[in-house]
């Protein structure tokens, strides 16, 4: 039986996914019935739903024969709130374009903070020629919280650049060049050693406000933060206080409790905060389509999906 694959992502990307999903299926030698509008198909006949939160599907209950929800995004916090029936596997997006984009964003901002680039960009004419060399990357400690698809790739890239990299995750990992740590007991010690802290944890019950006032207070003087994960990981009041008092040098923020970030949010005008509009990385239709077709092909061969969400853990 040719599986029915229905695109239920954003309208803007529909044409790109039509092109790239068809091409990826051809390349893989996989016959699929690709439908680009959920409204055109009997929901009971849909095998795979290529889904994103900004698409047209809010209610999964009519999709009785669904074999999988193939999420176009890496984060599943919003999707899980829509409560898809428990028996339908949810597959997170892991694809090269998304991963490489995040590596670029995190590496760029880490290097910027490491070299204190802002100091020179914002410099005004000075009377004295201040010579103040930055340390070498190997003398700078970067911490990455979350060592999944994105965190592990960023940690590897930062280590490749020469930084001393500390990585922290729930389960112990082994990544070349990265000092991996795990479990609650190691979190505070990792934060206390970290000069540039990168957040790449999912938003779950366990990680909500994980960077709280006590942990922010552990960060070394002049440390910087890069949050490319979710706004809800941070106690924002405590972060603003730490920036105001000069404990922290800078925060690069890509994600917020409310998006778009409201115009009156203090982050917008804070001199020690860089606001980027959730652009750290994005799923790219060309590379994502390869990953989606590979998942469908696996399932059709009777193999398990990769990157299945564990609903009890929330990621």
Active site residue ranges: 230, 278
Of 63 and 256, CB closest to ligand NAP: 256
Of 6 and 158, CB closest to ligand NAP: 158
Residue 180 bridge partners (DSSP): 167
CA–CA dist 209, 207 (Å, integer): 6
Under a CB-based contact definition with an 8 Å cutoff, are residues 181 and 235 in contact? no
Tell the smallest beta-carbon distance from residue 110 to ligand NAP (Å).
Answer: 15
Three-state DSSP class for 284?
coil
Place of tokens 């092909």: 297
User: CA torsion angle for 104, 105, 107, 108 (degrees, to 10)?
Assistant: 100
Of 3 and 146, CB closest to ligand NAP: 146
Q: Is the peptide bond before 286 cis (omega within 30 degrees of 0)?
A: no
Tell the smallest beta-carbon distance from residue 150 to ligand NAP (Å).
Answer: 3
**HSE-CB of 173 using CA atoms within 13 angstroms:** 22
Of 71 and 141, CB closest to ligand NAP: 71
- Which residues contact ligand NAP by CB under 6 A? 74-75, 98, 146-151, 169-171, 200-204, 206-207, 228-230, 254-255, 278, 280-281, 315
Tell the smallest beta-carbon distance from residue 11 to ligand NAP (Å).
Answer: 20
Residue nearest to ligand NAP (CB): 148
CA–CA dist 200, 183 (Å, integer): 16
Q: H/E/C letters for each residue in 202-218?
A: CCCCCCCCCECHHHHHH
Tell the smallest beta-carbon distance from residue 164 to ligand NAP (Å).
Answer: 19
Q: How many CB atoms lie within 10 A of CB 291?
A: 21
CA–CA dist 111, 106 (Å, integer): 8
Tell the smallest beta-carbon distance from residue 214 to ligand NAP (Å).
Answer: 16
Of 66 and 201, CB closest to ligand NAP: 201
């Amino acid at each position: 039986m040719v599986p029915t694959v229905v695109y239920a992502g954003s309208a803007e990307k529909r044409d790109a996914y039509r092109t790239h999903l068809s091409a990826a299926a051809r390349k893989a030698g996989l016959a699929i019935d690709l439908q680009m509008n959920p409204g055109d198909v009997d929901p009971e006949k849909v095998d795979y739903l290529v889904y994103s939160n900004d698409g047209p599907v809010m209610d999964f209950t009519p999709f009785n024969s669904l074999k999988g929800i193939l999420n176009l995004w890496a984060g599943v916090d919003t999707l899980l709130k829509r409560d898809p029936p428990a028996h339908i596997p949810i597959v997170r997006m892991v694809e090269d374009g998304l991963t490489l984009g995040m590596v670029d964003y995190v590496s760029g901002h880490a290097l910027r903070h490491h070299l204190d680039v802002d100091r020179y960009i914002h410099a005004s004419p000075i009377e004295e020629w201040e010579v103040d060399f930055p340390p070498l990357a190997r003398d700078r400690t970067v911490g990455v919280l979350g060592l999944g698809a994105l965190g592990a790739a960023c940690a590897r890239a930062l280590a490749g650049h020469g930084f001393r990299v500390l990585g922290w995750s729930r389960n112990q990992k082994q990544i070349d060049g990265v000092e991996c740590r795990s479990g609650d007991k190691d979190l505070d010690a990792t934060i206390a050693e970290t000069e540039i802290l990168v957040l790449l944890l999912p938003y779950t019950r366990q990680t909500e406000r994980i960077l709280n006032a006590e942990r922010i207070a552990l960060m070394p003087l002049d440390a910087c933060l890069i949050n490319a994960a979710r706004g809800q990981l941070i106690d924002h009041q405590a972060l603003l206080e730490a920036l105001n008092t000069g404990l922290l040098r800078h925060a690069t923020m890509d994600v917020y409790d409310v998006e778009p970030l409201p115009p009156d949010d203090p982050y917008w005008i804070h001199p020690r905060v860089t606001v980027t509009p959730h652009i750290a990385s994005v799923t790219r239709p060309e590379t994502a389509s390869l990953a989606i077709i590979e998942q469908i092909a696996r399932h059709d061969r009777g193999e398990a999906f990769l990157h299945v969400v564990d609903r009890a853990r929330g990621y």
